[in-house]
Amino acid sequence: MRPIPKKIRDEIDADPYYKVCARSDEGDCQGRITIEHAIIYAGRQLNELWALLPICAYHHEVDQFQDGGGMDKDRHISIALNRATDSQLKAISKAIDYIRERDRLNNIYGDST
């Protein structure tokens, strides 16, 4: 796991969005809130607020929920991509067209904004 810089961690701690699981609308949320790096860019976890998601231990498959079946990485990517602006996505769309990827995932999961 890539460490989250203190400046971003302070923003996360102050933002109410990060107090509830990003998948709470699906139910089954259990355990502590963890921060997931949803996007890998240039071989590293992306440390941008829009790409960092509050995910409960159940949906992140950590703690006692390891390998429990709650993790859906594509769903996490979908949520993160919908939090980003088009210009933010264009900035990282080198090997992957993230705007097209957002559209593809929205066809599966719906627009999570």
Q: What is the pLDDT of residues 56-78, one digit of tens each?
A: 999 999 888 988 889 999 999 99
Residues in the chain: 113
**Segments making up each domain of the chain, as ranges:** 6-109
Q: Which of 63, 79, 66, 100 is nearest to 26 (CA)?
A: 79
What's residue 113's pLDDT? 63
pTM: 0.91
Considering the chain, what is the average pLDDT of its residues? 94
Tokens of 103: 């559209």
Give the rounded percent of residues in the chain with a pLDDT score beyond 70.
Answer: 98
Q: Alpha carbon 25 to chain centroid distance?
A: 15
Looking at residue 86, its amino acid is D
Is the pLDDT reported for residue 16 higher than 90?
Answer: yes
